[in-house]
């Protein structure tokens, strides 16, 4: 492991467009999964942080992209820690049922990027990364599980492109 990999964590943002409001009975099965899935994330190996609205247990009340779009954002020690949680935990049940509750996105709805260890990204920062991914495709600045970059590659990219946050 290189020095920059030890000093970096992986941030992720996921956006989902609801078919129905969260208080609609058709969305109730999703809402019932929120607490157990969030508790699973909080206790998962490699978990660092997740976005939570002040005074709430999750961030479902935050709607930076419109009233019917919810966001999740978290930080993980490694890509493998995030992958394990996403695809090998109780989270997978929600993933399998996502079409019941959410619209299919035509453009990117998940973005990954490296942050310095200890940095907690803002929603604005995350939305900028998602916009970069949507406009330019995967890069060391904004990528997906299918097109990952290492923390070293991200650091090299930042050095090569002055003024790039």
* pTM for the structure as a whole: 0.90
CB 86 within 8 A of CB 47: no
User: In the prediction, which pLDDT does 157 show?
Assistant: 81
d(CA 154, CA 162): 13
d(CA 51, CA 90): 19
User: In the prediction, which pLDDT does 5 show?
Assistant: 46
Q: In CATH, what is the architecture of 3-160?
A: 2-Layer Sandwich (3.30)
- All residue ranges of the chain with pLDDT < 70 are 1-6, 161-165
pLDDT tens column, 74-83:
999 999 999 9
CB 133 within 8 A of CB 155: no
User: In the prediction, which pLDDT does 162 show?
Assistant: 56
């Amino acid at each position: 492991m290189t020095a920059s990999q030890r000093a970096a964590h992986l941030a992720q943002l996921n956006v989902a467009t609801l078919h129905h409001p969260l208080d609609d009975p058709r969305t109730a099965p999703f809402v019932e999964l929120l607490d157990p899935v969030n508790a699973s994330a909080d206790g998962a190996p490699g978990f660092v942080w997740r976005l939570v609205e002040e005074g709430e247990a999750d961030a479902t009340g935050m709607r930076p992209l419109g009233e019917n779009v919810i966001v999740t954002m978290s930080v993980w020690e490694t890509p493998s820690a995030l992958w394990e949680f996403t695809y090998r935990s109780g989270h997978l049940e929600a993933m399998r049922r996502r079409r019941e509750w959410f619209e299919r996105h035509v453009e990117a709805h998940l973005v990954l990027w490296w942050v310095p260890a200890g940095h907690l990204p803002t929603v604005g920062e995350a939305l900028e990364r998602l916009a970069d991914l949507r406009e330019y495709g995967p890069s060391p600045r904004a990528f997906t599980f299918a097109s990952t970059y290492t923390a070293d590659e991200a650091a090299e990219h930042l050095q090569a492109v002055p003024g790039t946050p």
